[in-house]
Amino acid sequence: MTAALPASAAWTQGPGPDLVYAQYLANNEFRIQHCRSCGKHVYYPRLACSHCGSVELEWVRASGRGVVHAVSVVNRSADKGGPYNVVLVDLAEGPRMMSRVDGVAHDAVRIGMAVRARVAAGAGEQPCVVFDAAEVAA
């Protein structure tokens, strides 16, 4: 297969994927990339598809559905806010991301839990995507 560059040079111009992603988040939108070439989804944001190398990536709304793949509880001291969870979530679209599960006790997060995404405040001032336990849907 010959890897052809797109006819348009648009992918070399304007804000890069990191910045575009951050702008979507600032508007309370969780978007991921979809590769027009291989059809797979990409997260975290990149300039070239991590599956096939194509630069024909488009932004799509994430379904927000995911499943906890791995979990760790960071044992922060009580005076600094106490323990908190860090998870890897497998998104319904395929990619895996780091996040946290809110709204449940830090030690109640389980591998295999169905979760749903929400844009929230991160550890810093930038917004980030977190998850809530999802109602188990049919």
Partner 1 sequence: MSGNTIRGSAAIVGAALAGLGEAPGRSSEEIAIEASVKALAEAGLTTRHVDAVFGSLPGNSNPLSGLLIAEMLGIQPKFTDNNRTGGSTFLSYTQMAAMALKEGLCETALIFYGSNQRTASGKLISSVKPFTYEAPYAPIFPATSYALAASRHMHEYGTTREQLAEVAVAARAWANLNPAAFMHGPLSVADVLGSRMVSSPLTVRDCCLVTDGGAALVMTSAARARDLPKKPVYLLGAAAATTHMNIVAMPTLTETAAVDSGRRALAMAGLRPADMDVVELYDAFTINTILFLEDLGFCKKGEGGAFVASGAIAPGGRLPVNTNGGGLSCVHPGMYGMFTLVEAVQQLRGEAGQRQVKNAQLALCHGNGGVLSSQITNILGTEATL
End-to-end CA distance of the chain: 41
Q: Dmax over Cα atoms in the chain, in whole Å?
A: 58
Taking residue 72's Cβ as centre, other Cβ atoms within 10 Å add up to 11
- Exactly one of 71, 91, 113, 115 binds partner 1 (CB under 8 A); which one? 71
Nearer to partner 1, 42 or 54 (CB): 42
Peptide bond into 44 cis (omega under 30): yes
Output Rg (C-alpha) for the chain, integer angstroms.
17
Minimum CB–partner distance for residue 70 and partner 1 (Å)? 4
Q: Distance between alpha carbon 71 and the CA centroid of its chain, in Å? A: 16
Out of 62, 97, 113, 115, the residue judged to bind partner 1 by CB under 8 A: 97
- Contact call for residue 74 and partner 1 (CB under 8 A): yes
Binding mask 109-128 for partner 1 (x = CB under 8 A): --xx---------xxx-x-x
Contact residues toward partner 1 (CB under 8 A) are: 18, 44, 50, 69-75, 84, 86-88, 96-100, 111-112, 122-124, 126, 128
